[in-house]
Structure 1
Amino acid sequence: MSATVSFKVPAPHGPGEVTVSYARVGRGEPLVLLHGIGHHRQAWDPVVDILATEREVIAVDLPGFGASPGLPAGLAYDLPTTNSVLGALFEALELDRPHVAGNSLGGLLALELGREKLVRSVTALSPAGFWTEAERRYAFTVLLAMRGIARRLPLPLVERLARTAAGRTALTSTIYARPGRRSPEAVVAETLALVGATGFEATLRAGSAVRFTDELSGLPVTVAWGSRDRILVRRQGVRAKRLIPHARLVRLPGCGHCPMNDDPALVARVILDGSR
């Protein structure tokens, strides 16, 4: 069920109130799911029911994305602020060091939460932050182009395109290797989420100097990469393994940048194995 929670976080001019939209389902040890930039929590829908058989799953709309409003004035969309926000969210939802899985930006945030010892395990699917400067510029160019195209498309055209496999491919093949598997309703909803993402540009700007370099010792870490990722190329997974030697590196054959849709059973198994 969809819900919202509000809580205070430190801000330059006094505590600021942040509101986060989330969905919570299942029973077991808590598992928080974090989406990528421009996406929303429904990106996890293909795997939620599988995960909920063994975990209490909390899928989150990050501030400024999906149904969550943007951060209050004075708060930046950078990693320290997001760590603070997610830590306060865990307290508000009474989550004591949950497992966390994230995709893209969400994967980077999951790793950051691990570095801060706020979680008990990390599964990162195509996480940001292991790029070279050239790879980062390429990824940001693709993301900006995706948002620019989505903002120029009239809603009736998006709805018409989403009704066919070819149209869904045109709209989402950058992030999915098997876009025809995504439902028309989901494609329309995530296109609207990309258009309405108020935190998009600020998050992208904050990420321009980001590199993840921590070894995350003492914490179970899984890094998984789609073999057909067109935004963050898969050699970045090898780089992540070198930086986090004890991490389990998993290849996701036939999967794109958002693998949850391309192979739900495989991705759910990787996440559950990583959180055991």
Structure 2
Amino acid sequence: MSATVSFKVPTPHGTSDVSVSYTRVGRGEPLVLLHGIGHHLQAWDPVVDIVATEREVIAVDLPGFGASPGLPDGLAYDLPTTNSVLGALFEALELDRPHVVGNSLGGLLALELGREKLARSVTAFSPAGFWTEAERQYAFTVLRAMRGIARRLPEPLVRQLSRTAAGRTALTSTIYARPGRRSPDAVVAETLALVAAAGFEATLRAGGTVRFTDELPGLPVTVAWGSRDRLLLRRQGVRAKQLIPHARLIRLPGCGHVPMNDDPALVARVILDGTS
């Protein structure tokens, strides 16, 4: 079951209350999971039970996504603000430099938290921020198209499509290499989450000039990329390795942009190895 925590974050006009939805399971060193743009914390469901056998796992709905409300007026969806929000979240949950694992946007945020010395280790699956300008424009165009299609589909049609492997492929093949493995209920839920994501457009606007260029010296870093990632192409993983030379770069055979669904056992092992 998810819970909600509220905390104060500074703004140019004082402090504002921010609320974040999260789940917390397992025992061991704390490990925070961050999803990608338009998704929600349930993206991690295929791996949570495995990882929770060895870690205390906190899966988070980023502000403006999933069950977390959007940021209040005066707070932007840019990296400095999100770093501040997540740092305040860690304080509210009494997390002292947890391991941070992220996918896509969440991978970039995990790296940012590492740069800010707020993470004990970072594991990033297909993180944003290692693109060329052409690659960024391509990814943003695909993301906007995905959301546009999802918003035009009536919910009964989404539910009907989700009942067959072919329908789940039509709805999710951009992010999953093996969409037929995703459960019908999960596909419906994440399609509705994409439609309702209050922070979607503002996050894309803020990401127009984002590049990650820090070497993160002294921080354990793992970067993993699906061999069948159709959104952020796998050559960006090589670029990440060049920028963070000490990082482990891992290829995920047969996995797409959101690999947790495609190969849960492999992804869980990468997480546990990267946080040991």
Secondary structure of 2:129's counterpart equals: coil
In the other structure, the counterpart of 2:271 is 271
Secondary structure of 2:14's counterpart equals: coil
In the other structure, the counterpart of 1:67 is 67
Alignment partner of 1:154 is 2:154:
yes
Deviation at residue 259 of structure 1 after TM alignment:
0.1
Alignment-mate amino acid for residue 147 of structure 2: R
In the other structure, the counterpart of 1:54 is 54
Secondary structure of 1:32's counterpart equals: strand
Alignment-mate amino acid for residue 91 of structure 1: E
In the other structure, the counterpart of 2:194 is 194
Structure 2 spans left out of the alignment, 5+ residues: none
Alignment-mate amino acid for residue 165 of structure 2: A
Q: Separation in 2 of the partners of 1:59 and 1:157?
A: 29
For residues 47-91 of structure 1, what are the alpha-carbon distances to aligned partners after superposition, in whole Å with 9 as ceiling and x for unaligned? Answer: 000000000000000000000000000100000000000000000
Q: Separation in 2 of the partners of 1:231 and 1:140?
A: 9
Q: Separation in 1 of the partners of 2:95 and 2:59?
A: 13
In the other structure, the counterpart of 1:84 is 84
Secondary structure of 1:138's counterpart equals: helix
Alignment-mate amino acid for residue 164 of structure 2: T
Q: Separation in 2 of the partners of 1:117 and 1:217?
A: 11
Matched residues, percent identical?
89
Deviation at residue 12 of structure 1 after TM alignment:
1.2
Alignment-mate amino acid for residue 7 of structure 1: F
In the other structure, the counterpart of 2:256 is 256
Q: Separation in 2 of the partners of 1:65 and 1:119?
A: 22
Q: Separation in 1 of the partners of 2:227 and 2:208?
A: 25
Q: Separation in 2 of the partners of 1:220 and 1:141?
A: 33
Alignment partner of 1:8 is 2:8:
yes
For residues 163-203 of structure 1, what are the alpha-carbon distances to aligned partners after superposition, in whole Å with 9 as ceiling and x for unaligned? Answer: 00000000000000000000000000000000000000000
User: RMSD of the alignment, in Å?
Assistant: 0.3
Structure 1 spans left out of the alignment, 5+ residues: none
| Count of matched residue pairs | 276
Deviation at residue 243 of structure 1 after TM alignment:
0.0
For residues 95-149 of structure 1, what are the alpha-carbon distances to aligned partners after superposition, in whole Å with 9 as ceiling and x for unaligned? Answer: 0000010000000000000000001000000000000000000000000000000
Alignment-mate amino acid for residue 244 of structure 1: I
Deviation at residue 13 of structure 1 after TM alignment:
1.0
Q: Separation in 2 of the partners of 1:141 and 1:224?
A: 23
TM-score by length of 1: 1.00
In the other structure, the counterpart of 1:124 is 124
In the other structure, the counterpart of 2:115 is 115
Deviation at residue 263 of structure 1 after TM alignment:
0.1
In the other structure, the counterpart of 1:27 is 27
